[in-house]
Structure 1
Amino acid sequence: MFATFAPPPQLSGLVRMFWAFEHEVPGNTPYVYRSMADGCAELIFHYRNRFSPLSGTEGAGFSHLHAQTSRYSRFLTHGSFGIFGAYLYPTAVPLFFGHSASSVVNSMPDLQSIMGRDGIDLEERIITARFHHQRVAILSDYLLALLSRRKPANGAVQLAVQTILRANGMVNIKALAGSISLSTRQFERNFKAAAGFSPKLFTRIIRFHRALDAYGQYDGNLTGLAYECGYYDQSHFIHDFREFSGYLPREYFLGRPEGIEYRE
């Protein structure tokens, strides 16, 4: 079971959605989940069982911030599990936690390390809640309280991030910088602080995610999919897909990728 929940309007510019992923695994059977490179961050709470990292990252607590990442990671658990999370727009990280996004990319800090005692209390409330709507309310209230303590975000960079997301990464960086009256160098510096990655790397990851969304609809035309996702040729598409997922495209679309149940 994979379900999504809309954030309250006050958080809609920072939280893409809340989600829950539950899966029944027979007995104590090993289950491997693979997380892909992602330009967005997630707050994650394991309320039933938990995963241990197999590769690509460190840490294995019940709750953590899975920051923006340019690489894939693999995680192992035994038996059935339940996870609740908040999928955050990139610029949410500095607003909520007071860290530049670039300082936490490719990491998974536990909540206590970034929130102090509040992180421990929040983890306990989320994990012990009986229903997902309660978890949504608890986390929404907490994030709204955090937001009230922070300075407003850089509106120009937020607009740029949203523009890239809406265009599935198919944008001209120089033209985008000019549209918000910044030089390319200024834009890159501000963008990296707020969103974690350079605009170029961010757009590559977002194009990759456009390709991931084709799972279950792939018709075997790899060249057509590459062009549809904004790649100039098949070789660049294959390179990015393998770098960000660990799979060749045909392995992913025609095989049985790890942890794919949430897309089915």
Structure 2
Amino acid sequence: MRYFTIQPPEELKPYVRFYWVLEHDSGIDEPSYVYRSVADGCAEMVFHYRATFNELTNTKAENAGTSSIQFQTTQYRRFITTESFSIFGAYIYPFAIPYLFNIPSSHTSNLTFDFDTFLGKAGVELEEQIMLAADNFKRAEILSSFFISRLRQNVLKDQRITTAIHDVIHQQCYRTVSQLADIYNLSTRQFDRKFKEYAGFSPKTYMRLVRFHDALNQYKGDKTLTQIALQCGYYDQSHFIHDVKEFTGYHPSFYFSGNAEGTEYRNL
């Protein structure tokens, strides 16, 4: 398995966290590969340029298509393929959705669309260009041009809220909602409404997602689960266990064991 990231151009860094590539060659001893996506406060545009996956639900496996955009989500999903595969993706801040697509993030939470449904002809053309690109650096260039073009077409949004969401993601300071509202000179009610419009979830739910991902980033460390929970702002072990189980489907002892679905790339 091979995983690496590509940085976006400077103009896009406020909106796109990074591009990523995941490649895997199946072998005789591994007839199928199951990937589990976990809850995430950011959105992803995903292009399967070699092989496709089926999504595993409670009743059946459904073709997930060659490309899609999955918005910020509190849910986990499972996918399976029996072929060698290659995927190119873009990891996008949730507040970029109003800038790029002129739609509030609150209207897209927990949704997934193929590009034809979401973007029409422009989405079909983008998917074709990505699929036919010579390599992943060319794919990053194509998608960057697409994003920049859309940014220049849309009007400026609320910078205070985008800054607030960015700070929540990166500063790892687990303030209360009222404290955050005070920092950005808004009432708690105004802040909650605007935050949800640009992040897709209420500040309380979004801070849970950020705290959860901070914990996942401790995956390669040698810390105990208790140390991870305390370092990431959980008040006690039960809250930590609850969030990891809700957002991954696994007890943290198994998720952090290195044997859980969808965690292989973290070992690379």
Deviation of 1:113 (Å): 1.4
Does the alignment pair 1:258 with 2:267? no
Does the alignment pair 1:195 with 2:196? no
Deviation of 1:169 (Å): 5.7
Q: Cα RMSD over matched residues?
A: 1.6
Deviation of 1:58 (Å): 7.6
Which one of the candidate residues 98, 119, 137 is aligned to 1:115? 119
User: Corresponding residue for 1:70?
Assistant: 74
Could you say what secondary structure the match of 1:99 adopts?
Answer: coil
User: Corresponding residue for 1:38?
Assistant: 40
* Count of aligned residue pairs for this structure pair: 263
Q: Could you list the per-position Cα deviations for residues 149-205 of structure 1 after superposition, in whole angstroms to 9, with x for gaps in the alignment?
A: 111121011110111012236222211111111111111111111110000000000
Greater CA deviation, 118-127 or 20-29?
Answer: 20-29
Deviation of 1:59 (Å): 6.6
TM-score (norm 2): 0.94
Greater CA deviation, 190-199 or 166-175?
Answer: 166-175
| Residues 182/58 of structure 1: CA separation in 2 closer, same or farther (3 Å cut) | farther
Amino acid at match of 1:110: D
Matched ranges for 1:75-86 at <5 A: 75-86=79-90
Structure 2 Cα separation of the partners of residues 59 and 14 of structure 1:
30
Amino acid at match of 2:266: R
Percent identity between the two aligned chains: 44
User: Corresponding residue for 2:108?
Assistant: 104
Q: Could you list the per-position Cα deviations for residues 2-59 of structure 1 after superposition, in whole angstroms to 9, with x for gaps in the alignment?
A: 1101111111000000111101111581111000100000111000011111138987
Cα contact 1:169–1:203 (8 A) shared by 2: no
Q: Could you list the per-position Cα deviations for residues 137-160 of structure 1 after superposition, in whole angstroms to 9, with x for gaps in the alignment?
A: 100000001111111121011110
Amino acid at match of 2:168: I
TM-score (norm 1): 0.95
Cα contact 2:258–2:264 (8 A) shared by 1: no
What are structure 2's unaligned runs of at least 5 residues?
Answer: none
Q: Which 4+ stretches in 1 moved above 6 angstroms?
A: 56-59
Structure 2 Cα separation of the partners of residues 26 and 222 of structure 1:
34
Amino acid at match of 1:233: D
Does the alignment pair 1:170 with 2:174? yes
